[in-house]
Structure 1
Amino acid sequence: MSFAPLIALAAQQAEHSGNVMLETIWYPIVSLIVFGALACVALSYKGVSNRHVHKAAAYAKAHPDEAPQAGHGH
């Protein structure tokens, strides 16, 4: 087969395909679900460091001389 009949055959096959968006609608739906779930996981960690401020303040009050030193290995 030469190149011209291949192009004609490809064009004929392209005419019979349906709506490409409807055939691939699951890709954006699945990606939105996956990224939405990942966003929920990321947002669940919001404010984790501030949840136990009262415990950190109580520990600092009970151990005033154990303040962390600046630098490495102190």
Structure 2
Amino acid sequence: MTLATIVALATEEHHGNVQAETFVFGIIAFVVFLLLGFVTLSYRNVANRHAHKAEAYAQAHGAELQAGHHH
């Protein structure tokens, strides 16, 4: 085989089903978005899981909370 034949074969266009060839990228993106959605939902209602801590803090610092936001 000559170099010209190898280059001609390498640059030959393949007219296959482009949708079928790129379908995997859509599946990967869908799985990534599902995982990110699961992570987002895992933080749902976190504040209520520690309501006893929030109530204890509010009782200990109640006057400061009503006076305003200070740092």
**TM-score exceeds 0.5:** yes
User: Which residue does 2:26 correspond to in 1?
Assistant: 28
| Equivalent residues, number | 59
Unaligned runs of 5+ in 2: 1-12
Q: Evaluate the alpha carbon distance shift between residue 45 and residue 37 of structure 1 in structure 2; reply closer, same or farther with a 3 A threshold.
A: same
Q: Say which structure, 1 or 2, has more relative contact order (CA 8 Å, 6+ apart).
A: 2
Name the CA shift for 1:44/1:58 in 2 (closer, same or farther; >3 Å).
same
Aligned-residue Cα RMSD (Å) equals: 2.3
What amino acid is aligned across from residue 73 of structure 1 in structure 2?
Answer: H
Shift of 1:65: 4.4
TM-score by length of 2: 0.63
The structure that is helix-richer by fraction is 2
Q: Please, which moves more after superposition, 55-64 or 21-30? A: 55-64
What's the % identity of the aligned pairs?
A: 49
**Distance (Å, rounded) in 2 between the aligned partners of 1:38 and 1:58:** 33
In structure 1, the gaps of 5 or more residues are: 1-12
